[in-house]
Amino acid sequence: MAKVLIIGAGGVGQVVAHKCAQVPEVFTEIVLASRTKAKCDAIAAQIARPIETAQVDADNVAELTALIERVQPGLVINVALPYQDLTIMDACLATGVNYLDTANYEPRDQAKFEYSWQWAYQERFRERGLMALLGSGFDPGVTNVFTAWLRKHKLDRIRELDIIDCNAGDHGQPFATNFNPEINIREVTAKGRYWDGGQWRETDPLSVSQMFDFPEGIGPRKIYLMYHEELESLVKHLPEIETARFWMTFSDNYLKHLEVLQNVGMTRIDPVLYNGQEIVPLQFLKAVLPDPGSLGPLTKGRTCIGCVARGTRDGREETHYIYNICDHEACYREVGSQAISYTTGVPAMIGALMMLTGKWQGAGVFNLEQLDPDPFMDALNRYGLPWHATTL
C-alpha cells in the first residue's frame, strides 16, 4: 500500500521498524534513516523483511529534502529527537509528504517544550493539503486517544483528568533512563505544571506527590506531578476540562541519583568550558550513562499507563479509568526492546497505519484527540497494547 520513511534509529526507531515490518499489507516498503547509518543497519539485520537504510542529518533541511525526494515515501515517521521536529516538518512541506512524530518540538538551548512552534505550521500544512500528526507515542499519543474515547463512550463531559504513568519495571542498574537520557532528564527536572480552573499552575520539580493503587497486582506506588505535553493540547481541544494533571512514578533510587546530579551541576544544559573546549554537562552525562537500548535484556516487570477521568454521564457523577499494562520481558522477546520504547513505537506505527489506510485524514496539523478514537483503540488491541476500561 505505501512506502514509509522512518527517521531515527534509537530505541523507539527499532520498535517502529519491527512493527511496520509486521504489517506488510500496509507498509509495503520500509526505509530507515538516521544520523548513524550503522545503527539503521543493525536494526535492519534483526528483521526478516528487507529494510533500506540511509544516513541523514535531520537538522539539515536540504539533506532531508534530498532524501525524501529520492525515497518518495507516502509518510515520514519522525522518531529522532524533539530538536528535529521543525526541520523534518519543513522538509515534508517542501516535498509534499505527510508527517508524524511522537514528541513536541524543543529548542536545544531551553528546557522547554510546547506545541506553539508546531501548531504554527497549521496553515502551511492545510494549504498544501498535507497532514501532520503530532505526538503519536504513548504519552502523548495513546493517552490523548484514551481521553477522546472516554469522552465519546463513557462521559458526556470530562471535568477532571489525571494521566498516570507507572514504570514498575527494574533494570538493575544504579541509574539509567528508559529513553534518551538528555530528553528524559530535561523533562523530569522541569517545573511541574497543571491545568486548574482555566489557568496553568506551577509547582517546584517533583514537589507534589500522592499514592495511587495500580491494578493487576502492581499495587500502591507514589506518583509525582509533572508537566507533560498532552495536557496542553487536551485542554485546548476539550475546553470543558477544568483540571488536568500528569503523574509519573519514580523509584527512590532514581530520585536520589537525580538529586545529586542536579546538585553538582551535571544536568545543566548551558555550555561550560572544560580543557579549552565547550561541553554541555547534560550531554556529557548522556555519554556516560547506559544506552537505553542496552536495558532491553535487563529490564523486568511491567508498565501501567492510563487516564482517570471524572465527569458526568446523563447527569450522574462517574469516574472511569482506562489503562494498558505492558511487560518489559515480553516486549524484548518480540522486538528486542524494553516496554518504554515498545509503548512509544507501537502507537507510532498505529498512527501511521491510520493515516496510510485513510482512517484518519485531514489537511493541517492534528493532535490525536481531534480524530476518531475507535479505529486506533481497535488497533491497540490488535498490535500489542491491549487496554482495559473500568469504573472507579
- The binding site for ligand NDP (CB under 6 A) comprises 8-13, 34-36, 39, 56-59, 79-82, 84, 102-103, 137-141, 179-180, 183, 292, 340-341, 344
Q: Shortest approach of ligand NDP to residue 334 CB, angstroms?
A: 17
Closest CB to ligand NDP among residues 84, 155:
84
Cell of 29: 516498503
Closest CB to ligand NDP among residues 9, 17:
9
Q: Report which secondary-structure segment, H or E, holds 137.
A: none
Closest CB to ligand NDP among residues 28, 173:
173
Measured CA to CA, the distance from residue 10 to residue 172 in angstroms comes to 21
Q: Shortest approach of ligand NDP to residue 59 CB, angstroms?
A: 4
Strand, coil or helix: 53: strand
Q: Shortest approach of ligand NDP to residue 131 CB, angstroms?
A: 18
Closest CB to ligand NDP among residues 58, 258:
58
Cell of 2: 505505501
Q: Shortest approach of ligand NDP to residue 12 CB, angstroms?
A: 3
Q: Shortest approach of ligand NDP to residue 146 CB, angstroms?
A: 13
Closest CB to ligand NDP among residues 155, 354:
354
Q: Shortest approach of ligand NDP to residue 200 CB, angstroms?
A: 21
Closest CB to ligand NDP among residues 179, 212:
179
Cβ contact 352:19 at 8 Å:
no
Q: Shortest approach of ligand NDP to residue 45 CB, angstroms?
A: 15
Closest CB to ligand NDP among residues 155, 331:
331
Cell of 86: 521543525
CA distances from 237 to 159, 324, 371 (A): 13, 23, 11
Q: Beta strand 277-279 with 98-101: parallel, antiparallel or unpaired?
A: unpaired
CB atoms within 10 A of CB 229: 23
Strand, coil or helix: 282: helix
Cβ contact 40:32 at 8 Å:
yes
Closest alpha carbon to 24 in 46, 1, 43, 51: 1
Closest alpha carbon to 193 in 234, 232, 222, 165: 232
Q: Report which secondary-structure segment, H or E, holds 316.
A: strand 316-327
Q: Beta strand 157-167 with 243-249: parallel, antiparallel or unpaired?
A: parallel
Cβ contact 312:154 at 8 Å:
no
Measured CA to CA, the distance from residue 226 to residue 367 in angstroms comes to 20
Q: Shortest approach of ligand NDP to residue 159 CB, angstroms?
A: 25
Q: Shortest approach of ligand NDP to residue 333 CB, angstroms?
A: 19
Closest alpha carbon to 248 in 230, 233, 262, 227: 227
Measured CA to CA, the distance from residue 97 to residue 99 in angstroms comes to 7
Residue whose CB is nearest to ligand NDP in the complex, by number: 10
Closest CB to ligand NDP among residues 173, 319:
173
Closest CB to ligand NDP among residues 34, 95:
34
